[in-house]
Structure 1
């Protein structure tokens, strides 16, 4: 699965669980509906983790490319 799709699913899960929690909280008590809030927070934390992980990988990749450009390999001519 692509990272963008994973992040989209996690963000949609966060919003969905939050909406269901609000509706359930109005119907029952916090004690009976806290598990929906926990699922929403969990999805949000996984979303943030995925986003930060991909940005760190991109930053590392750019640094590696930059190092490769700065160090040029040249052949020496034998006399």
Structure 2
């Protein structure tokens, strides 16, 4: 699945769970509806994780194409 589509779905789920939580919170108590708030937060955390992973992947490919890494020999220090 496309990463942009996944991020869009996660953001929509987070917003949907939050709206349902607000409506449920007005009807009941926090104790009975906190699981909806937790689902909203989990979706936001997965959204952030997906976004960071995509940016790191784009940064790695950009860095490896523009700046090839030279390997250096490791020398041990004698005491």
Unmatched tracts of structure 2, length 5 or more: 71-79
When you count helix as a share of all residues, which structure comes out higher? 1
TM-score between the two structures when normalised by the length of structure 1: 0.85
Bigger radius of gyration, 1 or 2?
1
What are the Cα deviations for residues 19-76 of structure 1, in whole angstroms up to 9, with x where unaligned? 00000000000000000000000000000000000000000100000124xx9xxxxx
2:77 maps to what in 1?
none
Unmatched tracts of structure 1, length 5 or more: 72-79
Task: Count residues with an aligned counterpart.
Answer: 70
TM-score between the two structures when normalised by the length of structure 2: 0.85
Which runs of at least 4 in structure 1 moved beyond 6 Å after TM superposition? Answer: none
The Cα RMSD (Å) is: 1.5
